[in-house]
Amino acid sequence: MGTRLLCWVVLGFLGTDHTGAGVSQSPRYKVTKRGQDISFKCDPISGHEMLYWYRQTLEQSPEFLTYFQYEVQQDKSGLPSDQFSAERAEGSFSTLKIQRTEQRDSAMYLCASSSATVWHSRLLPAHKPPPLPPGS
C-alpha cells in the first residue's frame, strides 16, 4: 500500500482573546487541512481608525499584509495572492480570509490598531538628487 501524506496548516494569533481594552483576535489558533478556507477576526482598540494585518512565519520577522483606515483598505500590497483577502466593516472589526490553505500559509497572523497620525498620511513621492560627479 502507498503511504498517504496528510498536510496540516497551523495558523494562530499571538496574545489573542483579550478581555481588556486591547486588540482582540479570534480564534486563538486554528489547525486545518490543506485546501480548507479559514478566516480570522480582529477587533481593534475602541476609537482606533487604523488597523493592520501582519504574518510571521517561523524564525522570521513579521511581514506586512494590509492596512485599513476606517473601512477603506489603504494598502494591500503585502497580501501574497488572490488567495488572501481582508475587509473591515465601518467602525468595526476586520476579517482576514485565506482560501484553499497551503502548507506555506502556516504562520502567526497578527493584528494591530492605532489612532490616525500624520505618519499615516499619504506620502508624497520623493526624488533623489543626481549623484555628484567625482572630485566635486
- pLDDT, position 90: 87
Q: Catalogue the E-assigned strands of the chain.
A: 8-12, 24-26, 29-33, 38-43, 50-56, 63-69, 72-75, 84-88, 94-98, 107-114
Q: Report in angstroms the alpha-carbon separations of 59 from 30, 62, 95, 108.
A: 19, 10, 25, 11
- pLDDT tens profile 67-125: 999 999 999 999 988 999 999 998 789 999 999 999 999 999 999 999 976 454 444 44
**Rounded mean pLDDT, 7-31:** 65
- pLDDT, position 41: 97
Q: Which domains does the chain have, with CATH numbers?
A: 8-113 (2.60.40.10)
pTM to 2 decimal places: 0.72
- At 79, give phi and psi (nearest 5°): -70, 125
| Residue listed under C-alpha cell 478566516 | 39
Average pLDDT across the chain, whole number: 81
